[in-house]
């Protein structure tokens, strides 16, 4: 049984009603429910008396250190078998870390701890690392995003990694680590016995200076399948170093996020080689990099390679124009694997989208999710988009937000949605002006096709 409640104010009567339900739940999610330390005493009792409870999510509640102290009393009971604990943005400080350390040391059932968006600080996380080093700790996922960590944390983290072969996911994004610390961390990861699968280091002050060490992790840890270094100024030179590790035969990367990394079209030669030859790679994000049309054309050539198995390509806000759309359409007509394409925030225009639609309509194309928000699309190409919607049954999600489609364009899209062959389940139309009459048509359409969700 699962209890999933978000964004609800808890009156005393409602809380009492939910408590009786929680006694038999396997998963409890109470995000954004204005909970406080007072609720944690009750939750502690649930944790200790409900042996089937495996997952507890309490994100975005003002629990504070006092609340965690109550929770941990339940977590430390022998009857507790909780596996996943989410405490993101719960107003915790380093004081909570001593209590959580005791849980990590004593509770082998706990495999996931999510404590991001809390001011734990380097001192607090060092205490958590002590708990991780206990032989009883079997932690597999540790999320420490936005925890006000500095470079001084790396020695303690490396010691914990060395002693914890079970750890698979490590998120350190949005902490001011810097190159020196990231180099030390990577050296520790190469030597550690853990088979890390996910490493997220977004916005950690990384430059090209530490990319050689990240590359060494990629080439030595075949377990690493998910790497995110987005929002770091690694530049083209850093990407070239990363690609040395990514192209290594040992590397089995599946998901690679490189958004806002100061990349230009100069990086696209290396990226194209990666996309065309690394068959394990299924998802790449290049959002907010100045790739331009010449860079996109190189990526499209890679997508046409039979060895490419890429399923998701994110190139939003990459300085693209109509000029690259013929290449995109050509790639779509050849590539059978691509399922998700994000091209929003690029000046493609009607002519560009028309060219893309030629590829989208090809029998080889299996696109499921297409994002064209703020692409200078008008009602002029909505008839072609409507044809794609009505004929490509694989297409289930379409974003046309921030485009001046007006009533004429929206009506054409609505007509396509009414078509029995149309399988679009989510249509995203943020910030588009239409008349009251068209609004009534949209609401009527949602009522007649409840499986369709129109988000505006």
Tens of pLDDT, residues 64-102: 999 999 999 999 999 999 999 999 999 999 999 999 999
C-alpha separations of 165 from 76, 216, 220, 445, 450 in Å: 23, 19, 15, 53, 47
**Cβ atoms 64, 91 nearer than 8 A:** yes
H helix or E strand, kind and range, residue 382: helix 382-391
The model carries a pTM of: 0.94
Domain carrying residue 213? 149-262
Shared-domain flag, residues 163 and 60: no
**Cβ atoms 236, 208 nearer than 8 A:** no
Residue 354 per-residue DSSP state? H
Predicted local distance difference test score (pLDDT) of residue 260: 98
Asked if pLDDT for residue 303 goes beyond 90, the answer is: yes
Tens of pLDDT, residues 192-233: 888 899 999 999 999 999 999 999 999 999 999 999 999 999
Shared-domain flag, residues 24 and 60: yes
Q: How far apart are CA 188 and CA 290, in angstroms?
A: 33
Q: Is 236 in a helix, a strand, or coil?
A: helix
Residue 92 counted as domain residue: yes
Shared-domain flag, residues 10 and 103: yes
Please, which residues have CB within 8 angstroms of residue 353's CB and are 6 or more apart in sequence?
A: 325, 372, 375, 377, 381, 384, 385
Q: Which of 247, 262, 277 is the last residue of a domain?
A: 262
Residue 361 counted as domain residue: no
Asked if pLDDT for residue 263 goes beyond 90, the answer is: yes
The tokens for 38 are 């007072």
Of the listed ranges 152-166, 240-254, 313-327, 345-359, the one predicted with least confidence: 152-166
Residue 430 counted as domain residue: no
Residue 95 counted as domain residue: yes
Q: Which of 107, 133, 159 is the last residue of a domain?
A: 133
Q: How many CA atoms lie within 13 A of 439 on its CB side?
A: 6
Q: How far apart are CA 203 and CA 183, in angstroms?
A: 15
CATH of the domain at 73: 3.80.10.10
Shared-domain flag, residues 168 and 104: no
Shared-domain flag, residues 122 and 156: no
Query: How large a percentage of the chain has pLDDT more than 70?
Result: 100
Name which of 329, 316, 309, 330 is nearest 288 in CA terms: 316
Shared-domain flag, residues 197 and 117: no
Shared-domain flag, residues 119 and 158: no
Backbone φ, ψ for residue 178 (5° rounding) = 85, 170
Tens of pLDDT, residues 23-32: 999 999 999 9
Shared-domain flag, residues 101 and 73: yes
C-alpha separations of 80 from 20, 47, 62, 94, 103 in Å: 18, 6, 24, 24, 11
Query: Rg (Cα) of the chain, in Å, rounded?
Result: 25
* Beta bridge mates, 143: 114, 171
**Strand intervals (E) in 179-254:** 198-200, 226-228
Shared-domain flag, residues 93 and 159: no
Residue 192 counted as domain residue: yes
**Strand intervals (E) in 216-357:** 226-228, 255-257, 283-285, 312-314, 340-342
Q: How far apart are CA 230 and CA 258, in angstroms?
A: 5
Shared-domain flag, residues 122 and 222: no
- Provide the number of structural domains found in the chain: 2
Predicted local distance difference test score (pLDDT) of residue 227: 98
Q: Which of 212, 238, 262 is the last residue of a domain?
A: 262
């Amino acid at each position: 049984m699962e209890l999933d409640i978000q964004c609800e104010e808890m009156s005393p009567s409602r809380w009492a009603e939910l408590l009786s339900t929680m006694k038999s739940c396997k998963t409890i999610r109470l995000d954004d429910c204005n909970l406080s330390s007072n609720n944690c005493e009750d939750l502690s009792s649930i944790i200790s008396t409900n042996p089937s409870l495996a997952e507890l999510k309490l994100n975005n509640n003002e629990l504070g250190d006092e609340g965690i102290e109550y929770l941990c009393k339940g977590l430390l009971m022998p009857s507790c078998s909780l596996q996943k604990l989410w405490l993101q943005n719960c107003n915790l400080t380093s004081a909570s870390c001593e209590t959580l350390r005791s849980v990590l040391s004593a509770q082998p059932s706990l495999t996931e701890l999510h404590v991001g968006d809390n001011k734990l600080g380097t001192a607090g996380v060092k205490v958590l690392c002590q708990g991780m080093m206990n032989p009883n700790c079997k932690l597999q996922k540790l999320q420490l995003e936005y925890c006000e960590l500095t470079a001084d944390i790396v020695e303690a983290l490396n010691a914990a990694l060395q002693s914890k072969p079970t750890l698979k996911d490590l998120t350190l994004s949005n902490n001011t680590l810097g190159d020196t610390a990231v180099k030390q961390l990577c050296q520790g990861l190469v030597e550690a016995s853990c088979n890390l699968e996910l490493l997220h280091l977004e916005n950690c002050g990384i430059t090209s200076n530490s990319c050689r060490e990240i590359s060494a992790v990629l080439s030595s840890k075949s377990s690493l399948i998910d790497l995110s270094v987005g929002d770091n100024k690694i530049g083209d030179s850093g990407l070239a170093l990363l690609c040395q590790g990514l192209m290594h035969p040992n590397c089995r990367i599946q998901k690679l996020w490189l958004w806002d990394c100061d990349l230009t079209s100069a990086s696209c030669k290396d990226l194209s080689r990666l996309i065309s030859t690394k068959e394990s790679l299924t998802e790449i994000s290049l959002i907010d990099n100045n790739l331009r049309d010449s860079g996109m054309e190189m990526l499209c050539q890679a997508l046409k390679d039979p060895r490419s198995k890429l399923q998701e390509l994110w190139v939003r806000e990459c300085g693209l124009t109509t000029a690259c759309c013929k290449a995109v359409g050509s790639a779509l007509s050849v590539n059978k694997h691509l399922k998700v394409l994000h091209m929003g925030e690029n000046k493609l225009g009607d002519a560009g989208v028309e060219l893309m639609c030629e590829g989208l309509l090809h029998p080889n194309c299996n696109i499921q999710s297409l994002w064209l928000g703020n692409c200078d699309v008008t009602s002029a190409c909505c008839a072609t988009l409507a044809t794609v919607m009505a004929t490509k049954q694989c297409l289930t999600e379409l974003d046309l937000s921030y485009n001046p489609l007006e009533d004429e364009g929206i009506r054409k899209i609505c007509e396509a949605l009414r078509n029995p062959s149309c399988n679009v389940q989510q249509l995203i139309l943020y910030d588009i002006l239409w008349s009251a009459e068209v609004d009534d048509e949209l609401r009527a359409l949602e009522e007649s096709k409840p499986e369709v969700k129109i988000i505006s």
